[in-house]
Each structure stands twice: as structure tokens, then as C-alpha cells.
């Protein structure tokens, strides 16, 4: 009797240990990275195609000597949705910080044109709009399901008919004369950990993101910095999406304040334009002719206070002066200011190199895309960073990739 009970106990213990091992194996299996498998693929591909690689350079038409650099925030809230301040205050604040363009993007609400809202003073002598140089970009944050920031259009999603990102983009892209352009806001909110991208049952997995970008040409970008740096793995999601889509379907990196009252001037987009018009801005956004910068978790207000001047913070942000590409040799050369290092990222977020110069033909990691991040550290503290848009690396030459519109 006693022996039997002992046997049963041993059996039970063994069974539960086995069960635990099985469960752990399953969990680890789900989350394991396929890095080793893809590494082989990269090396094979690079070795075979080394001499046949083409670089798709979003900045190739830029005349660096004459182009203007224009500061923009493409995501902001006022008290017309859940922001703290009035539209007038928000506009004045961005004007003060030297922004050339601002999109007010309420939740499912259009605050545009700015002058149409009762609590925004109309242009008048001595009023807010005297000397206002910040230009308005029509905007809206379509906020059911995955948030989508909508620009250049007064489109507003229907509260019942457009329930998810796909519905909203289908309707938004067709609205008006199709002038709307869109980007996905804070993907990190919908993907609790980058490994969730590989889970088939997860609604916002890699298949979802890739499908959205393939199906909607009007979806031009993805937020990689939101507010300060609210969702740290936004960039990891971004790199996974690029790894699937590049070089033929670029997705541009966007840093935006998503300001609700506490994040004025933490992030910006620097658009390269010959003339600062709304049409030119839209084209620049489509073709990735811009940089995205962020102070991340560093509070830039400190820099303004130190200098006693609003906007003094911008002197600490890495700024790109020119990018030279030599197709014959394969060199990409970035000339910039206010930075301490440049980090090159490629397939699946892997680091491909450091410094201003990289060779996309000879670099053994470079696969499908290369993108540069310029960082500025002072005494070991990361103050600000600037993201250069991804260069596509392809095995045959095609110009179609950016001419969707």
C-alpha cells in the first residue's frame, strides 16, 4: 500500500516535471528568433549579388547647397479632443519653438482650417495671427482600432462604419480627390513585445503591418518616436516591417510629439524643400525627403532654460547637411553637425556599422535596407538623435518604388 502510494507520487512528480518542460519548450519555441536561419540567407544573397546591388536613395534629387530645412510636428492635440490647451495656445507654442508646419490631429475630429474655430482668434492686428509663420496642415487622428494619423485632408472616420485601420484607410484614401496621406501612430501600443509580431493569432502582427503598407499607397510612414519616447520598441517594429518590405516598398520613419500639453518640441520632422508650400510638403512626405529627430527621454526644456531662449534646444539635435552616394564604389557618406556617433541599422534591426561612411556593396550585414541614426551624447547622456530615412538595397534597378502617386 505504502509502496504503491510512493510510486504514484514519483509518477506524479515526473509527470509534472515533464509537463513543465513541455510548456517551457513551447513558450520558448514561440519566442525564439530565427536569426541563425536568416543569417545564412543574407550571406548567400550578398555573396551572389555583390556586384549587382542598386541603392534606392530617397535624397537623390536634393540639391544640398540650396535646399531649405523646415521643421514640422505632424501629431498634436488641443482641448478640442483630450489635449490640455486651446488651439490658439498650441499654435502659439509651436510658432515660438520655430516650427514651420503643424498638424493639429484631434481624435476623430478635424480642427482645420485653424481660423474656423471660435476660440482661435481670427487674424487681426495685435492678435495671435499677426506674424504667424507656422503653416497649418489639415489633420486628424483616426482613433478606433490602430490609431492612424491622417494629413492634408478633412476626412473624418464614421464612428460606426470605420471600425479598424483598414476601414479607415479605405475610406480616407478615397476621400476628396485622394489628397490624404497617412501614417500609423505609436505601433508599440499595439504590439506589447516585438516577438508578438510573429504570433499568428495576434491582430497586430507582422502580417497586419505588411498588408497595410502593401494595400494602401497613401500610408506613407510609421511613428518611431511618440511624445518623448513612449513606446521604446516602436523602432524595433519599424525595422521588422522594413525587413519585409524593402527595398521596393519604403515606409518612412516619423518622430512626432503627440502633444497633449506636456510634450512641446520633443520631436520633429525636418522636411527638405525648395519652397515651403503644403503641396511640396506632401510630396516630400511621400518620397521620404526628410529626417526625424527626437530628444527621447531627455527633457529639452532644460536646454531652453539654460540658454534663456525658446528653441535653443535645436542646437543640440544632429542635423544632416548633405548625403553623398557613389553608385560605382558603393559608398554612402553623411555630412552632419551636432552628433557624436552614427549607427547604421539593417535587416531585422541588426547593426551594420558606425560612422559617417558606409559601403553598401562591401558591408557583409547590409541587406534590403540601411538606415542611419545620428546620436548626440554629452557626458555619456543621450541628448538627441536624428533618423535618416532608409536606403533600399535591391538586386535590380527599378524606379517605380517611390512613384506611387
Q: What angle do CA 109, 112, 118 make, to 5 degrees?
A: 90
| DSSP string for residues in 33-47 | --HHHHHHHHHHHHH
- CB atoms under 10 Å from CB of 23, counted, come to 10
Nearer to Zn ion, 149 or 374 (CB): 149
Q: Which stretch binds Zn ion (CB under 5 A): 114-122, 130-138, 252-260, 370-378?
A: 252-260
- CB atoms under 10 Å from CB of 193, counted, come to 11
Specify the 3-state DSSP secondary structure of 279. helix
C-alpha dist (Å) from residue 344 to 237, 252, 254: 16, 16, 17
Nearer to Zn ion, 141 or 179 (CB): 141
Binding residue count for Zn ion, defined by CB under 5 A: 2
| Residues 126-155 close enough to bind Zn ion by CB under 5 A | 141
Residue 80 CB, shortest distance to Zn ion, in Å, is 13
Residue 191 CB, shortest distance to Zn ion, in Å, is 17
CB-count exposure of residue 226 (10 Å: 0-12, 13-18, 19+) = buried
Binding of residue 257 to Zn ion (CB under 5 A): no
Nearer to Zn ion, 225 or 344 (CB): 225
**Site map for Zn ion, 205-224, x if CB under 5 A?**
--------------------
Residue 185 CB, shortest distance to Zn ion, in Å, is 6
Residue 147 CB, shortest distance to Zn ion, in Å, is 6
Nearer to Zn ion, 179 or 258 (CB): 258
CA–CA gap between residue 155 and residue 148 (Å, rounded): 12
**Helical segments of 50-164, H only:** 87-96
| Cis-peptide into 345, omega within 30 deg | no
Residue 77 CB, shortest distance to Zn ion, in Å, is 6
Residue 73 CB, shortest distance to Zn ion, in Å, is 11
Nearer to Zn ion, 128 or 184 (CB): 184
DSSP designation for 402: G
Nearer to Zn ion, 239 or 258 (CB): 258
Residue 107 CB, shortest distance to Zn ion, in Å, is 7
CB-count exposure of residue 333 (10 Å: 0-12, 13-18, 19+) = middle
| Residues 295-324 close enough to bind Zn ion by CB under 5 A | none
- Of 255, 246, 157, the C-alpha closest to 210 is 246
Contacts of 125 by beta carbon, 8 Å cutoff, 6+ apart: none
Nearer to Zn ion, 223 or 239 (CB): 223
By beta carbon distance, the residue nearest Zn ion is 258
Which one of 100, 234, 258, 304 is in contact with Zn ion (CB under 5 A)? 258
Site of interaction with Zn ion (CB under 5 A): 141, 258
Amino acid at each position: 500500500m505504502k509502496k504503491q502510494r510512493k510510486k504514484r507520487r514519483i509518477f506524479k512528480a515526473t509527470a509534472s516535471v515533464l509537463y513543465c518542460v513541455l510548456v517551457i519548450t513551447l513558450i520558448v519555441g514561440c519566442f525564439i528568433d530565427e536569426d541563425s536561419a536568416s543569417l545564412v540567407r543574407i550571406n548567400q544573397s550578398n555573396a551572389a549579388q555583390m556586384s549587382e546591388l542598386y541603392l534606392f536613395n530617397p535624397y537623390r534629387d536634393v540639391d544640398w547647397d540650396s535646399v531649405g530645412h523646415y521643421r514640422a510636428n505632424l501629431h498634436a492635440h488641443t482641448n478640442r479632443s483630450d489635449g490640455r490647451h486651446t488651439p490658439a495656445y498650441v499654435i502659439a507654442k509651436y510658432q515660438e519653438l520655430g516650427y514651420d508646419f503643424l498638424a493639429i490631429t484631434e481624435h476623430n475630429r478635424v480642427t482645420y482650417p485653424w481660423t474656423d474655430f471660435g476660440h482661435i482668434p481670427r487674424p487681426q492686428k495685435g492678435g495671435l495671427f499677426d506674424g504667424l509663420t507656422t503653416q497649418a496642415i489639415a489633420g486628424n487622428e483616426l482613433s478606433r482600432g490602430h490609431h492612424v494619423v491622417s494629413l492634408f485632408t478633412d476626412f473624418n472616420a464614421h464612428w460606426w462604419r470605420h471600425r479598424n485601420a483598414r476601414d479607415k484607410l479605405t475610406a480616407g484614401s478615397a476621400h476628396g480627390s485622394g489628397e490624404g496621406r497617412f501614417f500609423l501612430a505609436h505601433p508599440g501600443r499595439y504590439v506589447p513585445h516585438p516577438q508578438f509580431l510573429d504570433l499568428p493569432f495576434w491582430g497586430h502582427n507582422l502580417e497586419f503591418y505588411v498588408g497595410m503598407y502593401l494595400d494602401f499607397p497613401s500610408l506613407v510612414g510609421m511613428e518611431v518616436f511618440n511624445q518623448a519616447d513612449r513606446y521604446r520598441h516602436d523602432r524595433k517594429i519599424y525595422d521588422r516591417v522594413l525587413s519585409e518590405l524593402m527595398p521596393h516598398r519604403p515606409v518612412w520613419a516619423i518622430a512626432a510629439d503627440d502633444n497633449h500639453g506636456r510634450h512641446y518640441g520633443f520631436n520633429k520632422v525636418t522636411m527638405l524643400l525648395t519652397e515651403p508650400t503644403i503641396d511640396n510638403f506632401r510630396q516630400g512626405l511621400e518620397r521620404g525627403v526628410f529626417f526625424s529627430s527626437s530628444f527621447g527621454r531627455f527633457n529639452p526644456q532644460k536646454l531652453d532654460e539654460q540658454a534663456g531662449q525658446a528653441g535653443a534646444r535645436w542646437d543640440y539635435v544632429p542635423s544632416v547637411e548633405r548625403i553623398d552616394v557613389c553608385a560605382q564604389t558603393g559608398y554612402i557618406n553623411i555630412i552632419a553637425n551636432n552628433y557624436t556617433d552614427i549607427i547604421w541599422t539593417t535587416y531585422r534591426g541588426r547593426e551594420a556599422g558606425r560612422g559617417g561612411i558606409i559601403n553598401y556593396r562591401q558591408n557583409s550585414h547590409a541587406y534590403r535596407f540601411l538606415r542611419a541614426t545620428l546620436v548626440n551624447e554629452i557626458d555619456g547622456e543621450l541628448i538627441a538623435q536624428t533618423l535618416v530615412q532608409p536606403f533600399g538595397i535591391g538586386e535590380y534597378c527599378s524606379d517605380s518604388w517611390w512613384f506611387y502617386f
